[in-house]
Each structure stands twice: as structure tokens, then as C-alpha cells.
Amino acid sequence: MNNFDYYNPTRVIFGKDSYNRISEQISEVTKDKKILITYGGGSIKKNGVYDSVIKSLAGYEVFEFSGIEPNPEYNTLMKAVDMVKKENITFVLAVGGGSVIDGTKFIVAASKYEGNPWDVLTQKEGCKFTEAIPFGTVLTLPATGSEMNSGAVISRSELKEKRTMGGPMTFPTFSFLDPTVVSTLPERQIANGITDAFMHTLEQYLTYPSDNLLQERIAEGILSTLIEIAPEVMRDPSNYKAASNLMWCATMALNGTLRAGVAYDWSTHMIGHELTALHDIDHARTLAIVAPNLYKVKFENKKEKLNQYGQRVWGLQENCGEQAIEKTRSFFESLGIKTKISDYTSEFSESPSIIKDRFEERNWDGIGERGDLTPSEAQKIVELSI
């Protein structure tokens, strides 16, 4: 088994009717009674989450920053940074999905940063977030795992860029996970959530055989559970059993557990982020587009694990790697997710070469679990995905 360093300081408070414990959790972090809540385009006002959260914050002076968009925008978030500095905010509560939580991670880190925060996202030499204001989350969309990890993905559409950040200071101190929020999610977001959680698991599993037998079985458990509950949660999002399993799978898929002691890939995400930046395709959908073709192009690298995945997760017979890829694609399609770029846009002709050039500019000349996926292969994967 590979050596590993496993750290996760986020307290998870899971279940129904728990928001009355939010102020108790904040008071463990700060005695200051002034806080900022961040949220998106208003879904929390329609489904009652906003009212419950505000009720739980009685006795606090609450500032609000709304309008964090899906694929959170750098320029929007910088307005929140100004507000945090002006009002001397010492705690932030993010109420929303991955975009609001990711945006909040950027806000809390950029508020403590002296230089130009964009340099951190482009990983300019020597530019790093090293401090952050503490924050907690109330999750409204199970998908990204952002509620229990320290990563964030920030977009800057004027530059058609989508960049990642992270570090030990951007773990939430607590996260409230109430699966009843799933009942108000549009079908599109539930399908996205299932797909994103599925792909987070595959990125840390479909590599090469490891000696960490437990981690492999945990990954297969998450994949099998998602396949089992997907039809029910799509049909009836108010089914608590299905919704709570989706929520816990999504958190477990990206809270650091799966990566302990194994190889991981992430190249589907790296290519997928470019498709969002160029064409504004939902994050999860970019993964469903890229993954099957990436597995074809890197088949030799991944064939043992594809075979194991096909047998253990899909119940196929020996030598089933190619069939396992097709099963994966049809699983996404069964959720209503289209798996070709041309299903989303007609302006794709330049995309493969643009993505190749961007990978070259960033010196991403060997990504994936073996560090051997080249910019030309990324281009080929995108061509196959059209």
C-alpha cells in the first residue's frame, strides 16, 4: 500500500431538522456576533432553507452576499471580498451547492491575501493563499464534495478560464447535510450530482491495481450504491433513503478517503474544466462527455482496473473493459445526460486544438495516474468526444 497522509478537519452534521445547531457550531469558532452568509441565485429562498438558516442565526448581525453563479465568477467573488474587508467579517456561512461553497473558499482566502488573487489561481510562481477566514457550509446540492474538502474551482469568463485552488486553510469547519434539500432540486441537477460523484470515484479508482484493497472496495461500494439509488432518486427526489444515500456518497467520493494510499488520475476533470470554460457546459456533463473517450485512449494503462470495475460493479464476465466503458456511458445517458460535445454546442471545431495549446502553455505535458497523458492525447480525446 502507498504511504499516505490523511487529514480532514470538517465536522459533518448529517440529517433532518439539524439547522437549529448552526449557531452552536459558529460559537465554537468565534464569539463575534457578526457573520456573512453567501448564496446563489435564490433557490434557497424558494425552498425554505434561507428562512431556516436565518431563524437559526437569531442574535447575530447577518450580512448577505447573494448572486454567486454556477461556475462561480472571479469578478463576482471579488465584490464579496471587498464586503468582508469593509465590514471586518470574521466568519462566513456558505448556503448552497458546490459553486457557492467553492466561491466562499475563494472569498475567505482572498480576503486575507495581499497580492492579486488571480495569480494564485494561475499558480504564478510564489503566489499562494496561506491564511483564510473560517467558514461553515449548509449544503443544498449533493455533487461536488466541496462541503468536506478544501478544493475550489473558480471561473473567469472574460478570459474563458476555469482554475483550481485549495490548501489546508480552506476546509469548512463544519457542514450541515440535510438530504431533504434534494426534494427541490431540478432533475438536471440531480443527474449532475450523481454523475459528478460517480466520476470523482472513478478518477481515484480507474487507474492501475493497488495494494489498498479497502480503498478499492470503498470506491466500488460508492459506485454500486449510486447505480442502485439513481433510478429512485431521479423518479422521486423526496425519497429520503435514496436522497440521503446520494448525499453521503457524494461527500465520501471527494473528502480525501478514496485517494488514501492509491494512485489517482483527474485528467477527465482537467479536460472537462476546459469544456466548461469554452462552452459553458455543466461540470458533470463535461465529465460524462470526456470519460468514455479518455478510457478508450488510455485503455492499455487502465485495462486491469476496467476489467475489475466491469466485473465487480457491473457484474460482467472476464475481459470486459470495453463493455464497462459502454456501461458507464449508458448509465450517464440513462440519467438524461448527453455524452457528446455536439449535443451542447455547434461551435466545437477549434476546441480540440485550443485545449491542446492550453495544456502545452501550462506545461501539462504528462497528466494522469502515470503522468503520460500528453496534450496531443487530450486533443484526440476531445476530437473523439465531438
CA distance 211 to 81: 45
By CB under 6 A, tell whether 41 contacts ligand NZQ: yes
Using CB under 6 A, which of the segments 41-49, 346-354, 355-363, 364-372 binds ligand NZQ?
Answer: 41-49
Residue 144 or 301: the one with the smaller Cβ distance to ligand NZQ is: 144
Alpha-carbon dihedral of residues 93, 96, 97, 101, nearest 10 degrees? -20
**Helix, strand counts (H, E) of the chain:** 15, 8
**Min CB(229)–Zn ion separation in Å:** 19
The CA-atom distances, in angstroms, between 302 and each of 108, 165, 305, 310, 322 are 39, 28, 6, 12, 11
Give how far Cα 185 sits from Cα of 64, 173, 374, Å.
23, 25, 38
Q: Which stretch binds ligand NZQ (CB under 6 A): 36-44, 76-84, 233-241, 303-311?
A: 36-44
With CB under 6 A as the contact rule, the residue among 25, 40, 223, 233 that binds ligand NZQ is 40
Considering only 35, 91, 98, 306, the residue that binds ligand NZQ (CB under 6 A) is 98
Of the listed pieces 18-26, 54-62, 76-84, 185-193, which binds ligand NZQ according to CB under 6 A? 185-193
Of the candidate residues 37, 80, 96, 237, the single one contacting ligand NZQ (CB under 6 A)? 96
Q: Is 132 in the site for ligand NZQ (CB under 6 A)?
A: no
d(CA 374, CA 190): 33
Q: Which residue is nearest to Zn ion (CB)?
A: 196
Q: Pick from 117, 145, 179, 310: which binds ligand NZQ (CB under 6 A)?
A: 145
Task: Select the binding partner of residue 99 from ligand NZQ, Zn ion, none (C-beta < 5 to 8 A, by kind).
Answer: ligand NZQ
Cell 432540486 locates to 185
Q: For the residues of 49-90, what is the DSSP string, one character each? A: HHHHHHHHTTTSEEEEE--PPSS-BHHHHHHHHHHHHHHT--
| Residues binding Zn ion (CB under 5 A) | 196
Q: Is 66 in the site for ligand NZQ (CB under 6 A)?
A: no
Query: What distance lies between CA 193 and its chain's CA centroid?
Result: 9
Q: What span, in angstroms and rounded, lies between the C-alpha atoms of 148 and 226?
A: 19
- Name the residues that contact ligand NZQ, by CB under 6 A: 40-44, 47, 70-71, 96-100, 102, 140-141, 143-146, 149, 151-153, 181, 184-185, 189, 192, 196, 254, 269, 283
